[in-house]
Amino acid sequence: MGMPKEITLLATPDGWRHSVLTVEGAMLCGRLTDVPVDADSHQARAAAAAMVVGLARDVHEADVEVTWDPPREPWSWTGRVTPVAGDETVLPASGGQPAC
């Protein structure tokens, strides 16, 4: 799994789903399994951010933070993943965005 660059979070009738785009252009998609189907967007965003932060730390030994953009739709959120100030992890140049 590449270094996370962006996350999209979607509310669906079956629960919250996520797509994580990496700086290399790969995409990891799935469901937030630890979040109840009826969870509000704040709970879902907190769980998704924790997942991305943990992934970056465990796989890449990098500290990152997720900053959520204002939603364009009430059921869709996009978060930017950035290294925490002082983290010296080098991120490779971004590739294209494959469909998930």
pLDDT in tens, the chain (100 residues): 789 999 999 999 999 999 999 999 999 999 998 999 999 999 999 999 999 999 999 999 999 999 999 998 989 999 999 999 765 554 544 444 444 5
3-state SS, residue 82: strand
Report which secondary-structure segment, H or E, holds 53: helix 41-60
Residue found by looking up tokens 């790969």 in the block = 26
How far, in Å, CA of 35 to CA of 46, rounded?
Answer: 10
At a CB cut-off of 8 Å and minimum separation 6, what does 99 contact?
27
How far, in Å, CA of 91 to CA of 16, rounded?
Answer: 28
- How many residues does the structure list for the chain? 100
Q: What per-residue confidence (pLDDT) applies to 100?
A: 54
3-state SS, residue 14: coil
Q: What per-residue confidence (pLDDT) applies to 97?
A: 44
